[in-house]
Structures are given as C-alpha cells and as structure tokens.
Chains A and B, each alone.
Chain A
Amino acid sequence: MRDRPLNAIVAVVVFAAMMVGASIELQAMRDRMYPPRPLDEDSLYIQSGPMLRRLTVAYNALAADLYWIRAIQYYGDGKRRLASHARVPDPPPMIAAATSDAYSLLYPLLDLTTSLDPRFNIAYRFGAVFLAEAYPSGPGRPDLAVKLLEKGLAERPDKWEYMEDIGFVHYWYDHDYRAAAEWFRKASLAPGAPWWLQSLAATTLAQGGDRQSSRVMWEAILQSSEVGWQRQDAERRLLQLRALDQIDDYQKIVDDYASRAGAPATDWAPIIRARSWPGTPADPSLTPYVLTGGRVTVAQSSPLWPLPDEPQRADSRPPS
C-alpha cells in the first residue's frame, strides 16, 4: 500500500471529509425532525448546591459556567416557546403566585450556578433581572430575584451593586418604595458606593409618599455632601417637598370651596376673595401655583417643576 502513497492519502482524506459532511447533515436532520426537548424538573438530578459542589470538586468554576450557559439557554428557550404559543395573558398574578411552567427551572439553575461559584457576579445580577421580569413574558418572581441577590450578599456583604439591584426590584416590580429606599440607603453606606445612591434613596422615599423620611434624608445630604451640585439638588428637593405639603393644604381649601360652590374651581380669584389672601399662593420659589381643573399644581415655569411623582399617580414601567 505504500507504493502509491499519494493516491491512498488523497482517497482517504476525501472519504473522511465526505463522512464528516454526512455526519453534520445527519445531525442537522435529526435536530430538525426531533427537536431536543427542554429540561424538565427531573432532569436536574442534583438540586442541592452543596452536593453538586462536592461532586464537581476541582472543577466547580467550570461547572458553574456550564450551568450558567444552560440557564441562559433555558431562559431563551422559555421566551421562544411562550412567544410561539401566543397565549392570551392572564392578569398579573400576586407576587410569588404560580408562574408559567416555562421558567420553573430557572431559579434552581441559577441557584446551582451560584452555589458552584459564589462569586459569579453576572449570574446574580442578570439572573435577578431574568427572574424579576414580569409575567407573562417572564417568570414574574421578584421574590426569587431578591433571594438570589441576598445570597450574593451573603458571600460579599459589601457589594453595593447587589443592594442597589434589590432596591430596584422592590421599586419596579413590588412597588414597595419604602423597602427600595431602605436598600438604596444601605447600598450608599457600603465602601466604594457612588455618591448618588443617597440621592436615590431620598428620591425613592418621596415617590413612596413618605415625605418626612425623604425630608430627613435630604437634610442629611445637604449637611454632609461634599459635592456642590448635590447640595444644590438637595436644597431644591427640600423645597419641592415643602411645595408638596403646601399643595396638600391648598388643595383642601380648594376642594372645600368647590363643594360649597357646587362646581370645581377654575381660578384662584374667587378663593382669594373668599379667604382674603394677600395674593395668589406661591410655591417656595415664589412662583405662583396654578389651579386647573380643580387641582393645584406647580407652574411649569417654576424651578421646582416637575414635582416628584407619588404612588397613587405613578404607573411606572421598568426600563426595557
């Protein structure tokens, strides 16, 4: 056989190449005709993180990477399947109610990933994003998102990013502004935390309707901040809070007038006359308030405009 070596080598190489091509074609055909099934509950034999850690021993990090890839794939598959089914979504369920089957394994996968590698940063952060995504296109489990992030914090208590992320979960998905603000505050105390976290906390409190706490926070910022812009911003915010208080008071008067007059007030004039005020009520920046359609608001020309949204008006949607 060594007499005509070139012929033999060429023949074998061509044959091998053909076989490789055929094998690829067969794989593709098989995938087309029998699409691979998604993971289901029982296929995650080992659901216990510590057990899996012991099993993969020296290769924990690699196993973590593998589970992370699987988690992302699983998440993507879930989205694809839901999109293709084109279901009419049910009304958003209460927190921690049953979610769609499409994502039942997402938390276990992420939990295993982070058990295998407790410092797997993006697994915590993106994992939380995936988990919190609202039903029906996502799992709608902000509680699990928080649980995952808290697990990350257990490993690294000073990671302000996780605290901030928890705050955002509470903010966007739970609408629990008090909790959100508390987490932002905690985050701002972590070493290396950016200066604006304090502001974030204060703002959130205001949005939660808790003006007093917000006021206290802004006072603190005003006192302690070394950033000039932040101090000016704090002053403005405090004035805004005062404005909100004033608006509440004025609104009561306006409503009272409207109930006695039998019609909503459209103008300050009659009220000023009735109350013998020196002039149009003005906000702390000395810009007069505007009265339209029976509601007292700050003028657009005022430096205090716009005032912070408060919950009853807010229908905030998370950034996409």
Chain B
Amino acid sequence: MKATAWIAINVFRESVRDKVLYNLVFFAILLIAASYLIGQLTAGQDVKIIKDLGLAATSIFGLFIAVFIGIGLVSKEVERRSVYSLLAKPIHRYQLLIGKYCGLVLTLVVNISIMAAALYVVLAYMSWGVSPAAARIWDAPALDPALLKAASLLLAELSIVTAIALFFSTFSTPMLSAAMTFGLYIVGHFTNDLRNFADLVDSPAAARLARGLSWALPNLAQFDVRADVVHGVPVAFGYMGLACLYAAVYVAMLLAISVLVFSRRDFK
C-alpha cells in the first residue's frame, strides 16, 4: 500500500504544479468582488446570496477539476507512454489506478477545504459590525458550521464523479470521457425525475426501464443540500451518513470495474 500512497501523493503534486490550484485564487477574487458589490444591497439578502454563490462556485470548480483531471489520469499516461516506465517498477496495475484515484480525491479535498475557508472569511467580513437585531432575520447564522455539511456532501458527490471519469479514462479518449462524465453528472441530478417519469408513462416496459435506470444510475441529487443549509433547515447526520455510504459503495463498484479493465489492457 505504500506504493499506492506514493502514487497518490505524486498525483497531488502534479495537480499543484499543473496550476490547478490557481483556480482557487480566481474563486477567492470572485467571492470578494461579489461580496463587495452585494454589500450595497439592503440587509438580509446579501449573506444568503454570498452563501449561495460561494457554494455554487465551489461545486462548479470542484466539478471541473474532477472531470478534467480525472479523464486524463490514465489516458494521458498511456498516451504519453509514461506508464511504461511506471509499470516496469514492482507495482501492480491496480495500485497505479487506486493511487491515481486517491491522489485526485486528495486534490479535491484540499481545493474544497480552501474554498470553504475562503467563504468563511468572506462571510466573517460581511457579518462584521452587523447588529444582532439585523442578524436575527437571517435564516441561518453567517458563519454557519452547517456550510461544512454541504461541503462534505459535495466532496462525496465529486468522489463519485471522479470515479466515473477515471473509469472512462481507462479505455476511452479524453474527449469522449469528458462528454460521458458530464452526461452522467447531469443525468445523476435528475434520477428522481426519472423515477417520477416511471409513474407517469403508460407502457409498463418503459416504466420498468425508467425505474431501473433511476435506481442504477448514480443518484447525485441527494448530495445537494445547499438550499437546505442556506435556509437553516437542519441536515441530519444520519442522512449524511447514508449518503456517504452510498458514495463509498458506488465508488467501490466503479473502481473494481476500472481495475479489471485496466489490468487486462494491452498498451500498444
């Protein structure tokens, strides 16, 4: 397992040096600029909007990192032949794959942590000097620890997206992998609608197909608690636990299949 961890650290190092983390600077600037502009608005709504904006930006940046690095994790190595010298070392192919995955997840953890911290900083700045009376009309406190719940579930969601990107990367070109991963990301947010759709159609075959797909496709909408958190609606730890467990199970499945595909592959 040491080899796996070593590979993971090097993936992280690559992403840092690849200027991926520069997007954080962009994010921070975005937040600060937005907070300044929105500070002109009347009381009450600005904190909510900053939270919405901050969480949405974190989600989008996280998604892009997960997809664009994820699709290249394996295919870039194979295309550039750097995998040749890597596999000549005494490591199993699955160690390479799992190491790459863990490295990208590590990158995401760092990214999202920094973005969450930046969000808190901006919120602290915004709520500085606001009277308690004004603060009482907010749905949730400005420096709400529940924001971390939203960030954690976002991380769980992105771990699934990363696994999907990695899976496609083991056998497909980057372009196709990106398209399929984004596609599954979008579909994953509509699995509930797919289930409802099954209730509406007449044909039982179509209904069965829709229902089957709605269960099998990754359910990503369950990780989106941003609206709840911003409105101060409590998010139960039991719910988070079940959602994270789902993520772990789904990721395990994707990684198992990826390992199988990758282990049997000829590197021409």
Contacts and interface: CB of A to CB of B under 8 A. Distances in A.
Interface of A: 1-2, 5, 8-9, 12, 15-16, 19-20, 22-24, 26-27, 29-30, 33-34, 36-37, 42-43, 66, 69-70, 72-73
Nearest to B244: A26
B190 A26 contact: no
Name, among B236, B245, B253, the residue most crowded by chain A CB atoms within 10 Å (CB to CB): B253
B256 A19 contact: yes
Contact of A15 (B93, B228, B253): B253
Interface in B150-184: none
B264 to A, nearest CB: 6
A200 B195 CA distance: 42
The 10 closest A-B pairs by CB, nearest first: A19-B253, A30-B242, A12-B260, A26-B246, A1-B263, A34-B239, A22-B249, A73-B196, A23-B249, A16-B253
A79 to B, nearest CB: 13
A15 B256 contact: yes
B231 A42 contact: yes
Contact of A2 (B216, B236, B245, B264): B264
B216 A20 contact: yes
Contacts of B253: 15-16, 19-20, 23
Given A1-B263, A8-B263, A69-B200, A16 B257 contact: yes
Given A1-B264, A69-B196, A73-B193, 20 more contacts: A1-B92, A1-B93, A2-B264, A12-B256, A12-B257, A12-B259, A15-B252, A15-B256, A16-B253, A19-B250, A20-B253, A24-B216, A26-B242, A27-B219, A30-B246, A36-B192, A42-B227, A66-B193, A72-B196, A73-B196
A34 B264 contact: no
Contacts of A27: 215, 219, 222, 246
Nearest to A8: B260
Interface string B215-258: 11001001000011001010010110011011001101100110
A69 B256 contact: no
Contacts of A69: 193, 196-197, 200
Nearest to A5: B264
A27 B264 CA distance: 32
Contacts of A42: 227, 231
A69 B200 CA distance: 8
Interface residue SS majority, chain A: helix
Given A2-B263, A19-B249, A69-B200, A33 B216 contact: no
Interface residues of B, number: 33
A16 B222 CA distance: 21
A69 B196 CA distance: 7
Contacts of B192: 36
Nearest to B235: A34
12 contacts: A1-B264, A2-B264, A12-B259, A27-B219, A29-B242, A33-B238, A34-B239, A37-B228, A66-B190, A66-B193, A70-B193, A72-B200
A64 to B, nearest CB: 13
Contacts of B190: 66
Contact of A30 (B239, B249, B260): B239
B200 A9 contact: no
A27 B214 CA distance: 11
B193 A24 contact: no
Given A16-B253, A69-B196, A69-B200, A26 B245 contact: yes
B5 to A, nearest CB: 21
Nearest to B252: A19
B267 to A, nearest CB: 13
Contacts of A66: 190, 193
A69 to B, nearest CB: 6
Nearest to B218: A23
A2 B197 CA distance: 43
A72 B196 CA distance: 9
Contacts of A5: 264
Contacts of B243: 30
* Most A C-beta atoms less than 10 A away, residue of B192, B197, B238, B246: B246
B153 to A, nearest CB: 12
A19 to B, nearest CB: 3
A239 B259 CA distance: 87
Interface in B104-131: none
Given A23-B246, A24-B216, A26-B245, A34 B236 contact: yes
